Amino acid sequence: MIWLGRIGVALVGLFSLAMGLMAFASPVQVGEMLGLGALSPLGANSLRADLGAFFLAAGLASLLALFAGRAHWMWGAAALYGFAVIGRVLGVVLEGAPEGVAQSIVVELVLVGLSVLGAKTLARN
């Protein structure tokens, strides 16, 4: 079971680090992938900072859980992606379901599940 937890944490980490680094390198493109637009240079800067910070925080938590024995950090990653799901569901309830939102919710729920699995299994080791 420990290997499932490690693989789960590694997948969360790889996804999060890739998205965070892409947000730092190409914030406008990452924003467009997520349905966000940079209306000004300040908007591009905000996409870089906010999206980069979100994803890199989850990536850092994964690295610490996987390589430094800090399994409890995965609860932070689970919370980040869990709050994202809550925000998306709230948006669907208040404004209707935009195209593509189901895919985002599924991805985030999987990331929450993998983070919780990692937090629980790695803590036992």
Q: Tokens 């998306």 appear where?
A: 88
Q: Quick one: tokens of 106? A: 């599924």
| Contact assessment for residue 58 and residue 80, using Cβ atoms and an 8 Å cutoff | yes
| Contact assessment for residue 61 and residue 74, using Cβ atoms and an 8 Å cutoff | yes
With the C-alpha atoms ordered 7, 15, 13, 25, is the resulting torsion angle positive or negative?
A: positive
In this prediction, residue 124 carries a pLDDT of 86
User: Per-domain residue ranges for the chain?
Assistant: 2-124
Q: What value does the mean pLDDT take over residues 47-65?
A: 97
| Contact assessment for residue 58 and residue 12, using Cβ atoms and an 8 Å cutoff | yes
Counting residues of the chain whose pLDDT is more than 90, the rounded percentage is 98
Give yes or no for residue 17 having a pLDDT over 90. yes
Give yes or no for residue 125 having a pLDDT over 80. no
DSSP 123: H
Q: Render pLDDT for 71-101 as a digit per residue (tens, 0 to 9).
A: 999 999 999 999 999 999 999 999 999 999 9
Q: Whole-prediction pTM value?
A: 0.94
